[in-house]
Each structure stands twice: as structure tokens, then as C-alpha cells.
Amino acid sequence: MKSQLWKSALSPVIGISLLFAVWEIGVRVTNVSVFLLPPPSRIFQEIWTHGPMLMRHASSTLGIILAGFALSAIIGIPLALAVAFSPLFRRTVYPMLVFSQLVPKIALAPLFVIWLGFGFLPKVLIAFLLSFFAVVLQSVVGFTSIRPEQVRVARSMGAKGATLFFKVRLPQALPNIFAGLKLAMASSAIGAIVGEFIASQRGLGYLVLVANGEMNTPLSFAGMLLLTLMGIVLYFAVEGVERLTTGWHVSQRLNPAL
């Protein structure tokens, strides 16, 4: 199990290192201008020299991503519960949720600025709007895909109400909930950047935009690289929690036949 974990972590690292090597050599051999495509070494240098400034922007973006994600989880999972267990709610509110997903949310972003200003809130809302539906959809699948036998066996043990929920329904739904949470983390990151593009004086999204405007391609790439790194770390943080809580399912997934 441990060695498998190492292997699964090692191969992407090797892959990315290879990509960087090819990129570096390619840029040097063809002598492409730094303004078009800076080599990785130049990007790392940029990150090194502007470290503190980049970190300030990164932490601001991180706050938005995490807040959007947390809202998605806190609101999305109870919404899924209501959809799964209340026929009335499923008939009335759920269709509205579905329709809300057809609205081009990114186009809504400028409206939020008008309504809510340039602060933290509109960006978190965009991140939330982009990410919560994945949590709802996946969690509904999780809560409704339980087999009747599994509920019946527990009820014959005397389980009802909260016991039935926490001992049976919730653990059964966790793999799906985590699938939704992982998607939500990725979308929340996109939402945060969109928000910062549109209205901000802070954050990596803002930095990339400004760097592009100044034709400072290395800085722009540095911002994007940090964003990507942040996305990867956040994604695997969710996956780590998933491993801790649903090890049975993760080990099932490791089966190469699946």
C-alpha cells in the first residue's frame, strides 16, 4: 500500500520533470523570445525574485478558493440530502437548481461586482456558483444509490434516524460525495481566478492579468504555475481526506481492472 502510494506519486513527478526538460531545451534550441514563451528556468527565477509579492497574491487567491469550496460543501451536501429524501423538494427546488446551471455563470460575474462591489464576497460567490452543483449532483447519486437490503439490515438491528444516517447512509454516499468535492475544488479555483480577472487589485488572477498587460510574460507564467501548483495541492488534500475516510473505496479503485 505504502509503496503503491509512492509509485503513484512518483510517476507524475517524473512526467512533469520530463515536460519541463523538453520545454527548456526546446526554447533554448529554437531561441524563442522570452516574451513569447519563457523557459522554465526563467519562470522559477521569477518566482524566486518576486517570492514575497507572489505569496501575498497567492494567499489572497487561496482564501477565495477555500471559501468558495467550503460554501459548496456546506450548502451542497444538505441540498443533496433534501433532494434525495424530500419528493416535494425534488419536484420544486431541484429543477431550479438544474436550470441555474444553464445560466452562463461567468457572464454573471460582472453583475456581482455591480451588486457586491470589489471585495472578497463577489469572488467567493462566483467560486461557489461554479462549484456547488457538482457537490449536489454527486451527493444525490450517493444518497440515492443505496441498495434496499443495506437499509433493511440496519433497520432490523434497530437503527433509525440519526443512527441509520451516520452508520449507513452517509458512509455509503461518501465516495460520491468526495467525487463531487474534488470537482468542486477544481471549479472553485477557476471561479476564484475569474473573479480576480474581473474585479480585483489582488490575487494571482489579477497578477496574471497585469503581467500580461505589461507584456511581462515570465511573471504571467510564474503566476499560472503557482495557480496550477495550488490547484494540485488542494485537489490532493481533498483526496487525502478521502483516503482517510473511505480507504475501502480507494483501495477498490486501485484495482487495475477498474
Partner 1 sequence: MTNPAPEAAVPAAAMHITASKVGKIYPAHDGEVVALREVSFGIRAGEFLSMLGPSGCGKSTFLLLVAGLEAPTSGEIAIDGQRVTEPVTDVGIVFQEHGLYDWRTILGNIMLQGEIRRLPLGPLEVRARELLRRTGLEEFAAKYPHELSGGMRQRAAICRALVHDPSLLLFDEPFGALDALTRVQMQIDLEKLWLQRRQTVLFITHSIAEAVALSDRVAIMSPRPGQIDEVLTIDLPRPRDKAVVASKRFAEYCDAITERFMARGIIQY
Residues that bind partner 1 in the complex, under the rule CB under 8 A: 147, 149-150, 152-160, 163, 167-168, 171-172, 174, 246, 248-249, 251-252
Q: How far is the CB of 82 from partner 1 (least distance, A)?
A: 23
Please identify, using beta-carbon distances, which residue of 5 and 10 lies nearer to partner 1: 5
- Closer to partner 1 by CB, 164 or 194: give it: 164
The CB-based long-range contact list for 194-198 (8 Å cut-off, 24+ gap) reads 194/106, 194/109, 194/126, 194/130, 195/64, 195/109, 195/112, 195/122, 195/123, 195/124, 195/126, 195/127, 196/61, 196/64, 196/123, 198/109, 198/110, 198/113
CA distances from 103 to 106, 113, 143 (A): 9, 17, 26
Q: How far is the CB of 92 from partner 1 (least distance, A)?
A: 22
Residue 149 Cβ vs partner 1, minimum distance, rounded to whole Å = 4
The minimum distance between CB 17 and partner 1, in angstroms, equals 35
User: Of the two residues 33 and 156, which places its CB atom closer to partner 1 in the complex?
Assistant: 156
Q: Which is nearer to partner 1, 75 or 159 (CB)?
A: 159
